[in-house]
């Protein structure tokens, strides 16, 4: 059984959620909407204002020959309409029917401004993204940023003085988005031009919308898929990835991580644009951490990202950003220092509060189900560290998992996984005792026996479920950690004796399935070994380790765990041992088959983990003995049977 499959990493978004078009389109968006129509010599001019100052809406006299002749000698007024749309200013007739261009007065004014400017500073969409165009885009952005900064410093209390430059800056930032289509060509220019420093400086801009624009741009530029669509077949992916990495390094040198976290409190997610801004910030974190996972420790140690993520996850209302925050948290907890920091800041208790809402109900949709699984994954990751198991126990995490397991909701398999992580290892002894005292055995064995079905019996070679694998892990931890002759241990053993040893039969069924799967894997390995010998290839330690891992994934892990539990049951109860021997004999097997499996288990125990267990036993006299020592005792007993 592959350990990695037992603990599935959360699925990460592909970055497909892009910013929606805002209700008030930007000047650049409106310019794209402009209709480029040739001036006709037979268009109808709007009617002049009435004497009383009102305009006759929708009423215009029919054009005459005189009008046409007069028009030939007149130039079109610059204030007429963008694109010379004759109906641009017409709104409605008296009966409310619509004949106009469908834009507000403000939007019409913006279009007029751009039409008069003749598209100055803009680029033809059909023009290729060549180096000259890239430099013009960066120069336009630099000038817009400098102009806005200058006018804001001159007129800090008069927004009317710098509002136009702010609109130009907004347009210039959005104008850099096409650079993500050609990272190899564009990103060195971005770094060398000094645009990185200006973009980082704008993240502290007084106008939050400008900051959001910058965040959106950076998210697009460093996305792992940037430039993929425009790659030629012969183009090297390595060059694109190197260009993205160099740009990320430039942003990191400008302390982008700290600035991103500082900007999170500025955003009000009740607003659509701010909500998208939060999503883009989380996307930047994901992209940077995928390039260099080691930066996760820097992000946690130098910022307040962990408290913000916990607070965001605790929000009552569920949305996409809440799911994304859980995914980023799972990524950040991928190293021991961050997991320890999470435990010390009492992060486990709020996580348990979030999970408690799924005790009585199931997630309402797939997105919330993904969120729930991400939170369980976060909890399992934190419980990798022995130090955090005490925090989990103090927060009554074992009790909550047992209660949720009893309710048999969709969260039950996740609860079993958490219990497996919490009770594993010498540090899990207290969790094992608490689990038994909280009456968790009934629900655990109910789930254990519930996996048995006619289909499963008829096909013993089918792989066991993740839940069953975690249940076996819990049983292994209970026999390893619970003190001998203690009431909790006796209660565990009694479960294997009741109902005519049905739990022992269940273990033997799982064993047969694991043996069948392992035979197929061993055959494949033997064929590969023979082929390598025929080809004269040397079989070294690397190949042996790879084959051992392949066997673990193919059923050896399940077989080792089942035989470990069976050995304990046989050693501690004569009736269970007799029943197991009888059932094994029917299938042509004996207890010596268990011995061979346990010897392989003992010989492959990681020495580093074993030394840690020995050191812990020296510190704590109540701690269970090292696993290698336990396996030696079990093997000696079975060999004597």
Contact 386, 427 (CB under 8 A): yes
Distance between CA atoms of 508 and 406, rounded to whole angstroms? 26
566-598 tens-digit pLDDT: 999 999 999 999 999 999 999 999 999 999 999
pLDDT digits (tens, 9 = 90+) for 325-362: 999 999 999 999 999 999 999 999 999 999 999 998 99
* Residue 477 reports pLDDT greater than 60: yes
**In angstroms, rounded to a whole number, what is the distance separating the alpha carbons of residues 65 and 511?**
99
CA distance 401 to 438: 10
Task: Give dist(CA 84, CA 77) in Å, integer.
Answer: 9
pLDDT of residue 236: 59
Residues 529-544 have a mean pLDDT of: 89
For the whole model, what pTM was predicted?
Answer: 0.75
State the number of CA atoms in the 13 A half-sphere of 115 facing the CB.
22
Determine what percent of the chain is predicted with pLDDT higher than 70: 74
Nearest of 402, 581, 560 to residue 501 by alpha carbon: 581
Of 220, 253, 226, residue with least CA distance to 239: 226
Q: For 173-177, 552-556, 617-621, which range has the lowest pLDDT when averaged over its residues?
A: 617-621
**Which residues, other chains included, contact 77 with Cβ-Cβ below 8 Å and sequence gap of 6+?**
none
Q: Which of 241, 254, 143 is nearest to 197 (CA)?
A: 254
| Res. 407: pLDDT tops 60 | yes
51-88: per-residue pLDDT in tens?
Answer: 344 343 333 444 444 444 444 444 444 444 544 554 44
Dihedral class, residue 365 (left if φ above 0, else alpha if ψ from -120 to 50, else beta): beta
Q: Band the pLDDT of 230: cuts 50, 70, 90.
A: low
Structure confidence by residue, pLDDT tens digits, 96-138: 444 445 566 665 666 565 555 444 444 444 346 789 999 999 9
pLDDT at 613 over 90: no
Residues 601-619, mean pLDDT to the nearest whole number: 63
Mean pLDDT over 430-440 rounds to 95
pLDDT for the residue numbered 108 = 61
């Amino acid at each position: 059984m592959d350990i990695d499959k037992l603990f599935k990493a959360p699925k990460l978004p592909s970055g497909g959620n892009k910013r929606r078009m805002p209700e008030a389109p930007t000047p650049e968006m409106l310019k794209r909407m402009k209709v480029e129509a040739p001036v006709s010599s037979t268009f109808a001019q709007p009617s002049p204002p009435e004497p009383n100052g009102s305009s006759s809406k929708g009423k215009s006299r029919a054009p005459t020959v005189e009008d046409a002749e007069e028009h030939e000698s007149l130039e079109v007024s610059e204030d007429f309409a963008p694109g010379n749309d004759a109906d641009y200013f017409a709104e409605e007739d008296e009966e409310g029917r619509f004949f106009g261009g469908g834009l507000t007065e403000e939007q019409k004014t913006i279009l007029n401004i751009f039409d008069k400017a003749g598209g100055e500073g803009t680029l033809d969409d059909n023009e290729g993204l060549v180096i000259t165009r890239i430099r013009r885009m960066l120069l336009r952005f630099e000038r817009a940023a400098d102009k806005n900064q200058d006018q804001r410093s001159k007129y800090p209390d008069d927004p009317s003085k710098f509002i136009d430059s702010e609109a130009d800056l907004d347009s210039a930032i959005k104008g850099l988005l096409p650079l993500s289509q050609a990272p190899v060509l564009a990103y060195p220019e971005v770094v060398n031009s000094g645009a990185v420093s200006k973009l980082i400086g704008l993240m502290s801009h007084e106008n939050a919308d400008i900051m959001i624009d910058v965040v959106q741009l950076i998210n697009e530029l460093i996305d792992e898929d940037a430039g993929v669509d425009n790659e030629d077949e012969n183009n090297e992916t390595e060059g694109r990835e190197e260009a993205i990495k160099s740009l990320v390094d430039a942003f990191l040198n400008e302390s982008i991580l700290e600035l991103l976290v500082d900007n999170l409190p500025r955003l009000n997610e009740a607003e659509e644009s701010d909500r998208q801004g939060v999503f883009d910030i989380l996307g930047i974190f994901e992209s940077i951490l995928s390039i260099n996972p080691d930066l996760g420790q820097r992000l946690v140690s130098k910022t307040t990202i962990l408290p913000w993520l916990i607070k965001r996850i605790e929000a009552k209302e569920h949305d996409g950003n809440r799911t994304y925050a859980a995914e980023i948290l799972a990524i950040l907890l991928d190293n021991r220092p961050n997991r320890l920091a999470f435990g010390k800041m009492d992060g486990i208790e709020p996580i348990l509060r979030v999970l408690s809402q799924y005790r009585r109900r199931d997630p309402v949709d797939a997105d919330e189900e993904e969120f729930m699984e991400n939170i369980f994954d976060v909890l399992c990751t934190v419980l990798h560290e022995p130090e955090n198991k005490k925090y989990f126990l103090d927060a009554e995490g074992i009790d909550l998992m047992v209660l949720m397991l009893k309710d048999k909701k969709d969260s039950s398999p996740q609860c079993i996984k958490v219990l497996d992580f919490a009770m594993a290892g010498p540090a899990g002894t207290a969790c094992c005792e608490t689990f038994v005292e909280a009456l968790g055995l009934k629900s655990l064995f109910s789930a254990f026996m519930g996996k048995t079905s006619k289909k499963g019996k008829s096909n013993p070679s089918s792989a066991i479920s993740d839940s069953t694998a975690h249940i076996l892990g819990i049983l292994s931890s209970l026999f390893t950690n619970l003190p001998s002759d203690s009431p909790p241990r006796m209660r565990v053993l009694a479960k294997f004796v009741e109902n005519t040893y049905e739990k022992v039969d269940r273990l033997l069924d799982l064993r047969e399935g694991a043996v069948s799967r392992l035979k197929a894997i061993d055959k494949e390995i033997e064929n590969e070994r023979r082929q390598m010998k025929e080809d004269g290839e040397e079989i070294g330690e690397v190949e042996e380790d790879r084959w051992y891992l392949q066997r673990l994934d193919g059923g050896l892990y399940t077989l080792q765990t089942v035989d470990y539990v069976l050995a304990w049951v046989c050693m501690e109860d004569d009736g269970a041992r007799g029943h197991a021997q009888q059932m094994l004999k029917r299938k042509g097997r004996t207890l010596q088959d268990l011995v061979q499996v346990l010897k392989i288990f003992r010989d492959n125990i990681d020495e580093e983990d074993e030394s840690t267990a020995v050191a812990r036993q020296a510190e704590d006299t109540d701690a269970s003995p090292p696993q290698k020592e336990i396996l030696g005792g079990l093997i000696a007993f079975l060999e004597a049977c």
